[in-house]
Structure 1
Amino acid sequence: MNELLVESCAVLCSTFSAILGERLKLHGQIRKRKKRRYWVRKWILKRSSEVQNLVDHELRSNPHEDFKNLLRMSEEQFDYLLERVTKHILKSDTNMRQALSPKIKLQVTLRYLATGDSFKSLEYLFRVRKNTISKFIPETCKAIIKELEEFIKVPSTEDEWKNIE
């Protein structure tokens, strides 16, 4: 009786294993990823070469008002803020690609906060992919809050909130 039970279990296990193997093969075929056509799009690669971005090359050389209109702060204020947040948003380059500079991250974040532009429009303006923008904007905002905390006053009581309105 025990031999029959052991033999039945062995047959069931091998059958189950074969069925499971077939299912895994099917599952693997369905979930195959498409091969990427590009690692980085060619127009984005121009960010680091001839056309870094609009703010550095054009607006800093033009009248002061243009820079302020784009980022809603003066060049001096931008430089001060960049100096303070750089240590929080600086990333290292890798073998695969160069990290975005803190300057570009801050420019994109300030433009987003100033205008509420879509990530897609910021992508074309600054030559940074929208999925990358979505990752570093919250990080940059946290860095700004942390560095400018001494200047930010949040009401602590309900009465102080009412006085703001």
Structure 2
Amino acid sequence: MEQPKNHALFNDELYAKLDEFIDGLPTKEGALISVLHNAQDIFGYLPAEVQNHVAAKLGIPASKVYGVVTFYSFFTMKPKGRFKFNVCTGTACFVRGAEKVLDELKKELGIDVGETSEDSMFSLDALRCVGACGLAPVVSVNGKVYGRVTPENISDIVEEQMAESHIVERSV
């Protein structure tokens, strides 16, 4: 099936990278979640344009792709910030103060849950459980997990992340 070439959001190089991944699959059957993970890694998120491309490339209805994207919480249809903060709000984390940690992160980053800062530096999400209950409450940033976090730790975590990325000054 010929792919549409009217990509408005992203350049053809990114689509070529995704196509290379899809074309290298031993079979396209049952590969949707794997393809979506790869697409999200390439594009940063999964807008309708990318979902339609995946559907056409896999020969499946766009509605099926959309259904999977909206069902699983690890997929996003909105752009995320450079620093993706996630706070576990599962039972163990909640009981040990995740709500206060989340409130402090909202203040520190200047955004609410589900939002991305205007400068695209930060995004904030709350997750149901990350499977690290013994470390509750847990915050992860771009995959790095911080355990036994308190509201007093938040500023240090933000600064550490920025220092690791060699960012000297925050605009928030």
Instruction: Point out the structure with the larger strand share.
Output: 2
TM-score (norm 2): 0.28
TM-score (norm 1): 0.29
Largest Rg, 1 or 2: 1
